[in-house]
Structure 1
């Protein structure tokens, strides 16, 4: 299927590439974005364009270097007994053998009252995909998600019988890939409960239903069937879905919820996270969460841009932050030099095997 681009580029008074703050790449393929840029002769970086950031120069100037962090309480989201409820009013798209809800339709549904957090209306009114402490970008699918998916295939990362956490999951595509790879269990976390209810959970349900017995039953999960605009009806709960749990809330709050859970909790063999290090103010919480939830011999796979303009974070700054704490060893295992540089980092405990 074709990737969908919604572009709305406003010229600023200096006619600089700051105009890319208005670019909305909902399923951004750097290749396709670059092709578009070349055709229109615009200086628009396909990677930087969709970096989470406040939407205006004024907002960026007002952002303090040290921000009081807000701690959104954590909660677990139940999988509805009637799975068709999760798919109600959803329109499905497909990319790389993964089903996902059409984001524009979700936004319309949310504006019509389904969004109890009000993050869609706030995002629209502020022209921003990042409102610190309110909305953290989960309504979009960012480029590094696909970088990581490509890397899993290239490096032959094995998910079989692993416990996996998709941290800052958004659409949940990374966790769904792990689920299709026969992971023993997959947990999904996003800052916003609206994202879990309206995007992550429906995406997971749709993939489980549409793949049917292929997921977790020895099949490769591949199919040549055309995209389905309407998800199939769920006649029963797929076995793969029983492996999943869904959480919303701030990282440290979710970590404590898991560690204090009455349910038997085992630490994760693999933690996947994409474009979660854009804000240096969050590095401490992320580092501590990884340290608390990763198994002693586990691995973290993190996708990030080299630098996030407007918010100051990036892969090399985070790498330095991690090294100074002497808990993890890090390795940049892949660099993507198309447009603004993007990287994939692998992390493991220093004393792990």
Structure 2
């Protein structure tokens, strides 16, 4: 089987918008972020409705762009990026078990290759999800309408986002050590960050995504295909061959290190902290492209502060600003600063198109 990359993160209108935004001075971006932060706080009671001020802010940004870019109606349906729709029906948190019939999980999947790991072709999964009987109807609607986000319903797990690769590169460059650590891949999507930790000999790796269907159809299959024993040839295996895989074809030691969760962050942290089984907090929490919506900052910050060990570390990868959502790394850092719980520092800046950042969070007063 010939492997090929099938990511849709470069050829999108989003990339064009980001290139234009990069022309703005850094100070101007910070000022805009601070203004938006104040607006978000003053309208906290109206979070279910997009504020007129935020909408005006985004319209002003778009008005500075060429008409063919600013006109939302001109965004082609062939691209898988649109401004988010807004709903309010948070997903309940739950744990997902690894089914015994692992071959069935991989049966209809197509495996592709990345340096050092494998992944399931997401486009193939997307094509099948409209007929997925256990999925959320609104999720399949988002696929058919090429929408990357439906706030509070679908949070982008069916796409591998650009900053995921930034963080994977940083792990390699900085020689981040996962050995003997308990790791959480928060907002995991395809789970590539957690798989990197797993292959780095982490003691345990937990994967969390907003949507259960993402965990079941993307994350879990990705972990399984990366846990195929050396005797199994994962290169060139497609549907019919994957169905024939037995439990003995997988590295059970690696699989046993993993747990899977879905649901919104507040419910997820409560699920862990109120569990009958004693919960050991995480040495390392890794997350990519999860700071796009300021409405989620409170829940995100609360989850990080409750689930991280006293001497633990958080790595957050994200863009300077997210069009249509109002958030971004700069805004999130200001939010963190006001909370006065974590020290935050940028450990890497990717200055291509719209600036992308990797930031590190550690407790100010470990206890």
Task: State whether TM-score is above 0.5.
Answer: yes
| Coarse TM-score class (shorter-chain normalised) | 0.7 to 0.9
Using the alignment, how far apart are the partners of 1:69 and 1:279 within structure 2? 14
Aligned pairs for 1:1-353 within 5 A: 1-4=3-6, 14-16=67-69, 22=77, 24=79, 53-54=83-84, 70-209=89-228, 226=235, 228-230=237-239, 232=242, 233-236=245-248, 237=250, 238-352=252-366
Q: How many residues end up aligned between the 2 structures?
A: 307
Using the alignment, how far apart are the partners of 2:235 and 2:204 within structure 1? 28
User: Is the CA contact 1:163–1:183 (under 8 Å) kept in the aligned structure 2?
Assistant: yes
Deviation of the 1:88 alpha carbon = 2.1
3-state DSSP of counterpart to 1:90: coil
Using the alignment, how far apart are the partners of 1:198 and 1:151 within structure 2? 27
Residues 297-345 of structure 1 show CA distances to partners (whole Å, capped at 9, x for unaligned) of 0000110001001111000000000010000000100000111110000
Cα separation, partners in 2 of 1:181 and 1:5, compared to 1, 3 Å? closer
Deviation of the 1:211 alpha carbon = 5.4
* Paired position in structure 2 for 1:42: none
Using the alignment, how far apart are the partners of 1:4 and 1:139 within structure 2? 13
Contiguous gaps of at least 5 residues in structure 1: 26-49, 214-222
Contiguous gaps of at least 5 residues in structure 2: 14-64
Using the alignment, how far apart are the partners of 2:288 and 2:263 within structure 1? 17
Using the alignment, how far apart are the partners of 1:263 and 1:82 within structure 2? 26
User: Is the CA contact 1:170–1:196 (under 8 Å) kept in the aligned structure 2?
Assistant: yes
Residues 84-141 of structure 1 show CA distances to partners (whole Å, capped at 9, x for unaligned) of 1221211111112221111121112211234521244221344311000110000000
Structure 2 length normalisation: TM-score? 0.77
* Paired position in structure 2 for 1:35: none
3-state DSSP of counterpart to 2:247: coil
3-state DSSP of counterpart to 2:132: helix
Deviation of the 1:70 alpha carbon = 3.9
User: Is the CA contact 2:301–2:336 (under 8 Å) kept in the aligned structure 1?
Assistant: yes
Using the alignment, how far apart are the partners of 1:260 and 1:21 within structure 2? 46
Larger radius of gyration: 2
Cα separation, partners in 2 of 1:285 and 1:103, compared to 1, 3 Å? same
Using the alignment, how far apart are the partners of 2:191 and 2:133 within structure 1? 20
Q: Per residue, is there more helix in 1 or in 2?
A: 2
Deviates more, 1:232-241 or 1:83-92: 232-241
Structure 1 length normalisation: TM-score? 0.80
Deviation of the 1:229 alpha carbon = 3.8
